[in-house]
Amino acid sequence: MIIKTYHYYIIRKFINKILLVSFIFLALIFFLNIFTEIKFLENYKVEFYFPIMLTALNTPSLVFETFPFIFFIATQLFFIDFYDNQELIIFKNFGIDNLKFITIISIISFCLGVLICLLFYNLSAGLKSSYLIFKNNFSKDNTYLAVVNENGLWIRDESNENIKIINAESFSNNLLNDISISVLNKKFYLIKTLKAKSAKIQNKEWILEKAYIFNEDGSKNYFENYKFKTNFDKKKINSLFSNLTSLNIFELINLKKDYINFGYSTLEIENHLHKLYSFPLYIVIMSVLSGIFMFNVKHNQSKTYNIIAGILFSVLIYYLNYFSNLLGVNERVPILLSNAFPLLILILICIIGMIRLNEK
């Protein structure tokens, strides 16, 4: 397709609105988030710039989540400008109808969606990772580390007395299977080793089943059930890797492979990846919906009314996505369907809205 002069004009104007709304959202998110960081650091002696630094690292990740709504509102402002300046009438006199406008907006939105997903998301994930590392240095839970790889789940759990290195081959329901635990003192001398067929981890006092304990003096003990205290329970283990926004796309794919090797559920990773893969389409749908909305409202209504109505509509879309994703993660419906269903509903609304678009 040959890009004409009016294409450049529409593209420039639309991108300007995207940048304007993005900056407003960025400022609002930064302003609201900085109070959270100040509250978190109030009991620590840190330099004044620490809350600012933490907020700056965390904000891009939060902005990424709001991009569909940024595009919706930016499209509203784009059309409000065209109505105010009577430019839509001028374009229509030159044969550029409403459908052509929506098509141009859709192409721009798709291209920007791809760039945001590939560049902005990976950048925000790197910053989020740094944010979590910095924040963990101040957290009371920084005495443990955990990782999942091809050798299973590895946990470093530290208490006042000793350090525990825990390895399990698989995780199902409330059980860690084929578990081994090395207990070290603060100087990293081995005190004892525990091996068990499984461990019930519903609370922080694990029940090791069919456990063998190999002591420092070479003696060995067997317990049908052995109580073992840690800082971890099922909830904490499940939450260790839940902050997927700190991983870029390639890290997510590798983590999914590790989870498969470990026997750990990949539903949350698959759900997150599907959302990233469908992100450009989601952006296009939000822009198209906003355009259809603006073509169908009364042009003499106030800008504030139109934007508030658009925000309320965006909130409804957010909750539709949220509940659908919840059904997928909880295995009520297939994960692919849980991501596709809201998009299919929105696409259907778009098709219905575009049928008589040129009559507006």
- State pTM to two decimals: 0.74
pLDDT tens track of the chain, all 360 residues? 556 677 788 889 999 999 999 999 999 999 999 988 888 887 777 788 888 998 999 999 999 999 999 999 999 999 888 887 777 777 777 777 778 888 889 999 999 999 999 999 999 998 988 887 777 666 554 444 556 655 667 787 877 678 888 888 877 667 888 899 988 887 778 888 999 988 888 788 889 999 999 988 888 889 899 998 888 777 666 655 557 788 888 888 887 876 676 556 677 788 888 889 999 999 999 999 888 888 776 655 666 777 787 778 878 888 888 888 777 767 777 877 888 888 888 888 888 887 776 555
Residue-wise pLDDT for 142-189, tens only, equals: 444 556 655 667 787 877 678 888 888 877 667 888 899 988 887 778
Residue owning tokens 């710039």: 49
d(CA 252, CA 273): 7
Residue-wise pLDDT for 43-82, tens only, equals: 777 788 888 998 999 999 999 999 999 999 999 999 888 8
SS3 letters for the chain? CCCCHHHHHHHHHHHHHHHHHHHHHHHHHHHHHHHHHHHHHCCCCCCCCHHHHHHHHHHHHHHHHHHHHHHHHHHHHHHHHHHHCCHHHHHHHCCCCHHHHHHHHHHHHHHHHHHHHHHHHHHHHHHHHHHHHHHHCCCCCCCEEEEEECCEEEEEEECCCCEEEEEEEEEECCEEEEEEEEEECCCCCEEEEEEEEEEECCCCEEEEEEEEEEECCCCEEEEEEEEEECCCCHHHHHHCCCCHHHCCHHHHHHHHHHHHHHCCCCHHHHHHHHHHHCHHHHHHHHHHHHHHHHHHCCCCCCHHHHHHHHHHHHHHHHHHHHHHHHHHHCCCCCHHHHHHHHHHHHHHHHHHHHCCHHHC
d(CA 27, CA 325): 28
Paired tokens of 339 = 């991501």
Residue 117's identity, in one-letter code, is: C
Give the number of other CB atoms < 10 A from CB of residue 199: 24
